[in-house]
Amino acid sequence: MTPAKTKIKAATEPTTATAAPAAKPGRKSRRHRSRELTVQGLYQWRVAGGSAAAIEAQLRETKEFAKTDEEYFSGLLRGVLANAEKLEKHIQPCIDRSFAGLSPVEAAILLLGAHELASCPEIPYRVVINESVELAKTFGGTDGHKYVNGVLDKLAAKLRAVEIKKK
């Protein structure tokens, strides 16, 4: 075994018995799955309407729900729906068309990203943007992730200016 391979192996091994195992490539975190279900709920709200409670109850019945962070999912969905008008006003100056003109998928992802930027300061802005881009790659159109990235980058500069300056 070459010295370089030895160093890599040693760096990936837990140093104590309490160290968390490394996440396997391709595995989605509970929070990512919570975001996925939130986007699905927001899409449903944009297309068909409904109350937060009804949408949440329906999503809780899906098989994917067991793999989510239930508290985080509920906070995201309810937080976005409670503040949707305010979030749209934050987003509007960062987009090139009316918010109503966005696809329901892009709108849902941008609302979620805006909510996390505005209300979850413990989550680094780069994580919020990256998660939103991944959601756009999963659910959005061909280049939707590029649009989401650009919009949230502009929004982060406004909502997280202090955090961005520290970088």
pLDDT for the residue numbered 3:
44
Q: Is residue 45 part of a domain?
A: yes
pLDDT for the residue numbered 167:
64
Q: What is the total count of domains within the chain?
A: 1
pLDDT for the residue numbered 24:
55
Q: Give the pTM.
A: 0.83
For residue 156, give the CATH number of its domain. 1.10.940.10
Please identify every stretch of the chain with a pLDDT value under 50, giving residue numbers as ranges: 1-23
Q: How many CA atoms lie within 13 A of 142 on its CB side?
A: 0
Residue 115 in contact with residue 79, Cβ under 8 Å? yes
Q: Is residue 61 part of a domain?
A: yes
| Average pLDDT of the residues of the chain | 87
Q: Is residue 96 part of a domain?
A: yes
Q: Is residue 9 part of a domain?
A: no
Q: Is residue 107 part of a domain?
A: yes
Range of the domain at 153: 29-166
Q: Is residue 12 part of a domain?
A: no
Q: Is residue 24 part of a domain?
A: no
Q: Is residue 88 part of a domain?
A: yes
